[in-house]
Structure 1
Amino acid sequence: MYVVKSPLSDADLKTVSVALQGALVDLVDLALVAKQVHWNVVGPRFRSIHLQLDEVVDSARRYSDIVAERLSTLGVPPDGRAGTVAASSGIGATPEGWVKDTAAVKTLVDALGVVITRMRERLEATGEADPVSQDVFIGVTADLEKHHWMFQAENG
């Protein structure tokens, strides 16, 4: 079996891999939540929110790939399986059935808020251990904060 050797010390690798794996789970779940709401949103602001949700899905999917590949680069197999995501995500339950546009916005504001908080914790945790991974967290967090701002602005 081929094994990738990490350039990090064992202690730093543990810190960074826990942070990256947690980020992967949150990003996969964020994409799923946004897509679920995208399919079920209804109301007067349907179109704009429907399109905005796809932007979140695209960002979450793009960054989940970057995070997973960073794990692989460090010699840690990423785990984005459904069971792992369900057991580890910090995002709460997604509404079932049709979702009124105002509830859709609240769902995304809440989900993004949770993920951003956790990303900022990971950003802090990885700074000394691996500035390269920290840089990934900086990019992810900046993009998610922009989406968060835009959904908050929907509430007026």
Structure 2
Amino acid sequence: MTAVKSPLTEAAQKTTGEALQGALVDLIDLGLLGKQAHWNLTGRNFKVVHEHLDEVVALARQYQDEVAERSVALGVNPDGRARTIADRTTIPQLEAGYLADDKVVAAIADVLAQLIEKFRDRIALTDQPDPVTQDLFIAITAALEKQHWMFQAQV
């Protein structure tokens, strides 16, 4: 089997690859969390929150693909298997069953705030080893911050 040769040094590839893998785990779990909330949502603001959760899921899916493809372009195999996500996620999980719209809004706002912090750390981490990946992290962070603002405004 032929491996993709990285344009980065070995050290830069390792640092960037680890940052990309962490981002992939976060984005896959954000998408799953968003769908879990979307399916089980109840309350007066059901329709607005239900549709807004789809925006978060779409964002997560778009960027998880871009992150995984960036990894491969750098010669790093992304790992999006269910077991990997379950073992490595740090995102707080929602309760099972029906979820009140106000609790979902607050939980998603909190999760987005946590992810923004992690992505800002990844921006700093990739400044030297790979500015191209850093640009991707900047774009993701901007999208997460927009969603955070919109959810936070509903709290």
Q: Same fold by TM (over 0.5)?
A: yes
* Cα distance in 2 for residues equivalent to 1:66 and 1:81: 16
* Cα distance in 2 for residues equivalent to 1:72 and 1:104: 34
* Cα distance in 1 for residues equivalent to 2:111 and 2:94: 9
Tell me how far 1:87 sits from its aligned partner: 1.1
Does the alignment pair 1:22 with 2:22?
A: yes
Tell me how far 1:95 sits from its aligned partner: 1.7
Percent of aligned positions that are identical: 52
Q: Is the 8 A contact 1:90 1:115 kept in 2?
A: no
| Range that drifts further, 92-101 or 56-65 | 92-101
- Read off the aligned partner of 1:105 and give its amino acid letter: V
* Cα distance in 1 for residues equivalent to 2:17 and 2:89: 16
Name the residue aligned to 2:79. Answer: 79
Name the residue aligned to 1:114. Answer: 114
Tell me how far 1:89 sits from its aligned partner: 1.4
Name the residue aligned to 1:129. Answer: 129
Tell me how far 1:130 sits from its aligned partner: 0.2
- Read off the aligned partner of 1:149 and give its amino acid letter: W
Output aligned runs, 1:47-126, within 5 Å: 47-126=47-126
Unmatched segments (≥5 aa) in structure 1: none
Give secondary structure in 2 for the equivalent of 1:154: coil
Name the residue aligned to 1:33. Answer: 33
* Cα distance in 2 for residues equivalent to 1:93 and 1:104: 11
Name the residue aligned to 1:5. Answer: 5
1:54-85 CA-partner distances (Å, limit 9, x unpaired): 00000000000000000000011100111111
Tell me how far 1:110 sits from its aligned partner: 1.4
Cα RMSD, aligned residues only: 0.6
Superposition TM-score, scaled by structure 2 size: 0.98
Name the residue aligned to 1:45. Answer: 45
- Following TM superposition, the consecutive aligned residue runs of length 4 or more in structure 1 with deviations greater than 2 angstroms are none
Q: Is the 8 A contact 1:31 1:61 kept in 2?
A: yes
Tell me how far 1:116 sits from its aligned partner: 1.0
- Read off the aligned partner of 1:147 and give its amino acid letter: Q
